[in-house]
A = this chain, B = another copy of it.
Amino acid sequence: MTPPKASAATPNAERLTDYPQPSVTADCVMFAVESSELQVLLVRRGVEPYKGEWAIPGGFVGVEMSLEDTARSKLREKTGIADAYLEQLYTFGDLGRDPRGRVLTVAYFSLIRKPEAAPVSTSDAASEAAWFPAAATPALAFDHARILDMARQRLRNKIRYEPIGFELLPEKFVLTDLQRLYEGILERELDKRNFRKKILGMGILKALDEKQQNVPHRAARFYSFDQEAYERLKERGFLFEL
């Protein structure tokens, strides 16, 4: 591709203003789990286009903030959480995906512990937000259905070979919670004994001296993810896989 116009003043340099500049947004698909169900946070658009429809939270990228920080600030704005797991998903740049003109969207996805998230604002109509089952959302604005789809698929793949499932659970959890989480995201049932054998055998869980209280059945032990142990193992070539 050649520049639209040559720059007479600086014949040996390429200037940014020689080229058209598309608009860019950073959007963030926020996932959480409640009652073993994968959920996603959506916002209702307060302005045209697609006013009144549900969308993935996002905002335009300024010139003074990195892409990831832009996504992270969306996350903080909607949930109050500053340090959640965040990963770049894909960049969408097809023509015609925004009726106003050329818009690129750099999509991220994030995993949060729902109990830690601030309640979503329902009063302010301009920023109405709500949690939906990730597998059954209302129709979405723009090409956001495709973005969500890709995010779900990425999560399904990634959760099998990186220990990111823990990001969706409370710090202290019970093995059955972990198993249900995996079953929900992988969309198939797992054998209880084999699951426990495998995950405990990895040595990346800390068994806590604490049990469930007031449950109408034998109380289960709490565990937490042992980040340091995982790092140590990874250095020695250990690969998480489930």
Q: A95 is contacted by which of B12, B21, B66 (Cβ under 8 Å)?
A: B66
Residue of B nearest to A24 (CB): B22
Q: State whether A93 and B61 are in contact (beta carbons under 8 Å apart), knowing that A12-B51, A24-B104, A48-B14 are contacts in the complex.
A: yes
Q: A22 is contacted by which of B1, B49, B61, B90 (Cβ under 8 Å)?
A: B61
The binding surface of chain A is classed by DSSP as loop
With a CB–CB cut-off of 8 A, which chain B residues contact A16?
Answer: 23, 98, 100-101, 103
With a CB–CB cut-off of 8 A, which chain B residues contact A73?
Answer: 1
A91 at the interface (CB under 8 A from B): yes
Residue of B nearest to A74 (CB): B1
Count of chain A residues with a beta carbon within 8 Å of a chain B beta carbon: 43
- C-alpha gap A99/B65 in the complex (Å): 15
- C-alpha gap A48/B51 in the complex (Å): 44
- C-alpha gap A70/B102 in the complex (Å): 14
Whether the Cβ atoms of B12 and A70 lie closer than 8 Å is no
A8 at the interface (CB under 8 A from B): no
A13 at the interface (CB under 8 A from B): yes
Whether the Cβ atoms of A47 and B14 lie closer than 8 Å is yes
With a CB–CB cut-off of 8 A, which chain B residues contact A60?
Answer: 1, 19-20
Residue of B nearest to A59 (CB): B1
What per-residue 1/0 map shows which CB atoms of A76-107 lie under 8 Å from chain B? 00000000000010110111001011111010
- CB interface residues, A 188-221, toward B, < 8 Å: none
**6 shortest interchain CB distances as A-B pairs:** A67-B93, A21-B21, A19-B60, A13-B48, A1-B59, A63-B102
